[in-house]
Amino acid sequence: MTTLAATGVLHASWLLLAFPVFGTAVLLLGGRRTDKWGHLLGCAMSLASFAYGVIAFFTLLGYPAADRSRDLHMFSWIPVDGFQANIGILLDPLSISFVLLITGVGSLIHIYSIGYMAHDTERRRFFAYLNLFIAAMLLLVLSDNYLGLYAGWEGVGLASYLLIGFWQHRPSAAVAAKKAFIANRVGDAGLSLAIMLMFAEFGTFNFGPVFHQMLSGSTSGGTGITTAIGLLLLLGACGKSAQVPLQAWLLDAMEGPTPVSALIHAATMVTAGVYLIVRSNPIFNVSPDAQLAVAIVGAVTLLVGAIIGCAKDDIKKSLAGSTMSQIGYMTLGAGLGPAGYVFAIAHLLVHGFFKAGLFLGAGSVMHGMNDDVNMRRYGGLARFLPVTFVTFGLGYLAIIGIPPFSGFWTKDGIIEAAWDKGGTTGYILAACAIVGAGITAFYMSRMMFMTWFGRRRWEGEEAPEGAPEGKAYHPHESPAVMTWPMVLLAIGSVGAGAFLMLGQRFMNFLKPVTGAPATPHGVWSEPGIIALVLVVAGLGIAWFMYGRVPVPSIAPRGSFLTAAARKDLYGDAFNESVLMRPGQWLTRLSVYFDSRGIDGLVNGLAAFVGGSSGRLRRIQTGYARSYALSMLLGAVLLVAGLLVVRL
C-alpha cells in the first residue's frame, strides 16, 4: 500500500497531539492556580483528541481501501548530513485503531478519575500527567518513523514513572516507579539499537523506506541483519509490554492509582510492544527466526502471567498477572505472521475495553472498601455495589471467552491461528494458548467468587485484624462520574468482539497494513471448542474451591507452585541475584578502585615528586598576587626555556 499525503481534514491531524500537550503544559506551568478547573481541562483535551480521532476515522473510511495510508510531515526534527529525522504523522487503519482506543478509553478514564481522585489535593498534577501520557502514546502510534516512535515510547515510560510514583511519599511507590522505568530502559536500549542498526544498514529509519527494503528482498543476503533487528525490536517490546524476561515491573506498577493501572498498565501503554511488532510486520515477515521468538515469548508469558494471576490475593495484582497473560496472547498472535496480526490487534482493542473495565471496577470496590485490595477481606459485595458488580461481571465473561462476549471472538482467533500454523511448533503454541484459556477462567472465576459472592469477610464499622490502621469499611456504590465510564466500557466488553470479527469487518479494514490469514476463520473451530471446554472446567474448579466453600480470611500456605506464584514465579529473586547484587558489588568495587586505585596512584606520585602538600602549604601565603606572580614567572621561564632549546 502506498502512502499518500494527508489532505483535507487529515491535514489537521497534528491537533491530535496538540490538545493533550497543551493540557499538560497549562496544568504543569499553571500550578496551583489551575487546581479548581484543572481536571476539567484535562478531560476536555482528551475528549477533543477523541473527537478529532473519530472525524479522522470516518474520513479514512471514506477513502478507497488502498488509499487509507496518509502521511503528514510536521517538521524536520534532527537534520544532520546523512541523517534525517522528522516528526511526521502516519494515519492508516492500524494507527487510527489505536488513536480511537487511546483517546476513547483514555477519556473515559479521565472522567472516572474526577471521582476517584476527588479527595486528592494533587488531582491537577494527576491530570497533567494523564494528558502527558495521552500525548506520548499518540506520538508513539502516530509517528511515521522509528525515531519519533522511540520518542513516544520513552515518553509513555516517563508518564508511567510519574504516575506509578504519583503517591511518591510512599517508599514502595517510589521504588516501583524507578523499577518500572529502569526495566523499560533495558527494553528501550534494545529498541534504540534496532534503530541504529536500521540506520547503519539502510541509511534511514523511516517506515516507508525500511519496509520497502524488506519487501523488495534486497536484504536477502542479510537475513542475519533482519533477524537481529527483529530480536532487538522484540527486546524493546518485552520491556514495554512486560513480557518474559522483563515482566517483573508490572506487578509493582500497581502501586499507582487505579485509573493509572487501568489506562496505562492494562489498556494502552503495555500493549505498545504488540503495536511495535505488528507495525514492523514487513521486518518480521522476512525473518522467521525472529517471528518464532516473538511467538515463544508470547506463549511463555501468557502462561506465566496466568499462573501468577491464580495465586494473588491482591485484586490489582491478580489483574496485573492477567494483563501480562492477555498481552502474551497478543504477542503470540503477532508472532504468527499475517495469520495472526489482525487477531492480535483485535484482541488488544477488546482487551482495552474489558480490562480497563475490570480495573475501574476494582477501583470502585477499593473506593468503597477504604483502599483495601485484599480479596480475602472482600466477599458478598454484589449487593452493595450493584452497578460495579454487573459491569465487572460482563468484563469477566468477556475475558474468559464465553460466547458471544468480546474475548471469545478474538482469543479464539489467536488460538486458531496458532493451530493453523501446524507442525510441532504450531500445536505446542496452540496448546499453550488453550491451557492458558482454562487457567484464565480459573483465576477470573476465583476473583469473582472471592469478591462478589459468598459470606462477607469484612466487618461493618470495625476494622478487621490486619486491615489498614483504624479504618472501617462502608461498602457503597461509587458516584455516577465513576459508574458511567464502567457502563460504557462494559458495553464494549459485550459487543466489541462480535462487531469487529463478524463478517471479517476488522480484517478487511486492517488487511492493507498487516495482511490477513489465507482462509478466513469460521465462528466455531476444533481448538476453540477444546478451549471452551477447558474454560468451563476452570470455572468449575474455581467454584469448587472458592464458591462452594467459604474462603479463609488468612491465606493458606498452599503448594509449592502456589508459593512460587505468590512470589511472581521468582522474577524478582532472579533479578536481584543475577543483576542487582552483582551490580552493587561492581559499583562498590569501582568506587573503591577509583578513590584508592587511580587517585591513590596519582596522589602517591604527587607526594613522591614534590612532597607536595607540605611544600605547597609553605608557599601558600594567601595573597592572590603572589600566586599570580609565581605562576607567571613559572610560565615565562618555561616558555623561554623551551624556546631556547628548540631554536
Partner 1 sequence: MNGIPWLTVAGALPLLGSIVLTLIPPVPANSAPGDVEARDKLAKVLALAFSVATLAWVIVMATRFSTSGPTYQLTEQYSWIPQFGVHYALGVDGIALVLVGMTAVLMPVVLLASWHDADRGATRRSVKSYFALMLLLETMMIGVFEATDVFLFYVFFEAMLVPMYFMIGSFGEGPRQYAAVKFLLYSLFGGLLMLVAVIALYVYAGDSPATGHHGTFLLSSLVHVALSPTAQKWLFLGFFLAFAIKAPLWPFHTWLPDAAASAQPGAAVLMLGVMDKVGTFGMIRYCLELFPAAVSYFKVLILTLAVISILYGAVVAIGQKSMKRLIGYTSVSHFGFIVLGIFALTSQGQAGATLYMVNHGFATGALFILAGFLIVRRGSDRIEDYGGVQKVAPMLAGLFLVSGLAGLAMPGLSTFVSEFLVLAGTFSRYKVAGSFAVVGIILAAIYILWMVQRTTHGPVSESVASFRDLRARELWAVMPLIALIVAMGVYPKPVLDVINPAVKATMSQVHVTNPVPAHPAPAANAAHAPGANSSHLKGNQP
Range 548-587, binding partner 1 (CB under 8 A): 586-587
Residue whose cell numbers read 491531524: 13
75 binds partner 1 (CB under 8 A): yes
Q: Tell me how far CA of residue 580 lies from CA of 90, 572, 574, in angstroms.
A: 40, 10, 9
Beta bridge partners of 72: 89
Under the binding rule (CB under 8 A), the answer on residue 15 touching partner 1 is no
Phi-psi region of 402 (alpha: psi -120 to 50; beta: other; left: phi over 0): beta
By CB under 8 A, residue 620 contacts partner 1? yes
User: Could you tell me how many residues of this chain bind partner 1 (CB under 8 A)?
Assistant: 94
Residue 612 vs residues 568, 594, 639: alpha-carbon distances, Å: 58, 21, 23
Q: How far apart are CA 528 and CA 532, in angstroms?
A: 6
**The residue to which cell 489537521 is assigned:** 12
CB of 212 to partner 1, least distance (A): 5
If one asks whether residue 635 binds partner 1 (CB under 8 A), the answer comes out as yes
Q: Is 625 in the site for partner 1 (CB under 8 A)?
A: no
The minimum distance between CB 95 and partner 1, in angstroms, equals: 14
Contacts with partner 1 in 34-63 (CB under 8 A)? Answer: none
Q: Judged by CB under 8 A, does residue 211 bind partner 1?
A: yes
- Residue 630 half-sphere exposure toward CB, CA atoms < 13 A: 9
Helix (H, G, I), strand (E, B) or coil at 374: strand
The H or E element that residue 5 is part of is strand 4-5
7 binds partner 1 (CB under 8 A): no
SS3 of residue 72 by DSSP: strand
Stretch that binds partner 1, among 34-42, 49-57, 174-182, 379-387 (CB under 8 A): 174-182
Residue 21, C-beta contacts closer than 8 angstroms, at least 6 positions apart? 131, 135
397: contact with partner 1 by CB under 8 A: no
**Choices 55-63, 66-74, 101-109, 292-300 (CB under 8 A): range interacting with partner 1:** 66-74
Q: Does 627 bind partner 1 (CB under 8 A)?
A: yes
Stretch (H or E) spanning 4: strand 4-5
Q: Which is nearer to partner 1, 150 or 458 (CB)?
A: 150
119 binds partner 1 (CB under 8 A): no
Nearer to partner 1, 181 or 392 (CB): 181
DSSP-assigned beta bridge partners for residue 90: 71
Q: Which residues in 129-148 contact partner 1 (CB under 8 A)?
A: 144-145, 147
Examine residue 618 and tell whether it contacts partner 1 (CB under 8 A): no
Pairing of strands 83-91, 70-80: antiparallel
Question: Does residue number 185 form part of the binding site for partner 1 (CB under 8 A)?
Answer: yes
Of residues 34, 204, 243, 285, which one binds partner 1 by CB under 8 A? Answer: 204
Strands, E, within 48-197: which ranges? 70-80, 83-91
Does position 33 interact with partner 1 (CB under 8 A)? The reply is no
3-state SS, residue 143: strand
Residues 217-246 that bind partner 1 (CB under 8 A): 218-219, 222, 225
> Before 245, cis peptide (omega within 30)?
yes
Residue placing its CB nearer to partner 1 in the complex, 193 or 487: 193
Candidate segments 188-196, 425-433, 513-521, 558-566, binder of partner 1 by CB under 8 A: 188-196
Is residue 468 a contact point for partner 1 (CB under 8 A)? no
The single residue among 203, 582, 604, 611 that binds partner 1, judged by CB under 8 A, is 203
Q: Is residue 189 a contact point for partner 1 (CB under 8 A)?
A: yes
In angstroms, the CA 287 to CA 222 distance is 10
Contact residue for partner 1 among 9, 55, 120, 212 (CB under 8 A): 212
Q: Between residues 170 and 548, which has the closer beta carbon with respect to partner 1?
A: 170
**Interacting span for partner 1 (CB under 8 A) from 43-51, 321-329, 393-401, 608-616:** 608-616
What is the separation of C-alpha 287 from the centre of its chain, rounded to a whole number of angstroms? 25
- Give least dist CB 128 to partner 1, A: 11
Residues 233 and 274: beta-carbon distance below 8 Å: no
Between 192 and 364, name the residue whose CB sits nearer to partner 1: 192
Q: Which of residues 147-166 bind partner 1 (CB under 8 A)?
A: 147, 150-151, 154-155, 158, 161, 165
Interaction with partner 1 in 433-452: which residues (CB under 8 A)? none
> What is the smallest separation between the CB atom of 468 and partner 1, expressed in angstroms?
17
Q: Classify burial at 51, counting beta carbons within 10 Å of its beta carbon; exposed 0-12, middle 13-18, buried 19 or more.
A: middle
As beta bridge partners, residue 206 has: 145
Distance, in Å, from the CA atom of 397 to the CA atom of 491, rounded to the nearest integer, reads 12
Rounded CA-CA distance 420/436 in Å is 18
The residue within the footprint of partner 1, chosen from 5, 66, 578, 640 (CB under 8 A), is 5
